[in-house]
Amino acid sequence: MLMEELPPEAALNGPPRDADHLLQRTLGTVRDERHQAVRRRGRVTALTSTFVVAGVLAGGVWLGQGLGIGGTDDVAGTLQGTSADGAHLAVRVTDTEGGLRLVATVDGMQDGEACWLVVHTKDGRTFTAGSWRAHDGEVTLAGSAMVRAGDVAGVSVVNHDHQPLVTAN
């Protein structure tokens, strides 16, 4: 066999001088590509998890509002009345799981008068739902009573002597 038939690399004694550098560069490139893939997967996982959590929370809020979680409120109606002295009373009655919720708007009471909002039932019982000291102008107050809306005969504003000032039926 002749020397001319062999490629020039065969005449080298050992690996090329920059072979170690080439190996390190190749391994470094492989490591960098792997780290980039891991980071990319981590970002995608974090983003997906964020969207899933946001979707679950939004769905829970939407369902909670639609299903009335926390109490089933049923507006039973509005009662209105006017006294001979010109006082006005309008009461929105809402039936809840724990009883009755009232939102009353009162106007025309004498300034400084001590007033109580009283619920009257069909069987003659009374429940005090709120109190305040009247002033010039309209007053809106919320109250509650341990009675079902179907049992309400009327709502009155009474004074200190329990005399009705205005009644709404």
Torsion of the alpha carbons at 141, 144, 145 and 149, rounded to the nearest 10: 90
* pLDDT of the chain, 169 residues: tens digit per residue: 566 777 777 666 766 666 677 778 888 898 999 999 889 999 999 999 999 999 999 988 877 765 544 444 556 688 999 999 899 999 999 888 888 899 999 999 989 999 999 999 999 999 999 999 998 889 999 999 999 888 999 999 999 999 999 999 9
Distance between CA atoms of residues 154 and 156, nearest Å: 7
DSSP label at 109? P
Q: Tokens 């829970």 sit at which residue?
A: 60
Specify the pTM: 0.56
Contact call for residues 118 and 166 (beta carbons, < 8 A): no
Distance between CA atoms of residues 149 and 96, nearest Å: 9
Tokens of 14: 């050992």
Q: Which residues on neighbouring strands pair with residue 141, listed in sequence order?
A: 104
pLDDT at 69: 46
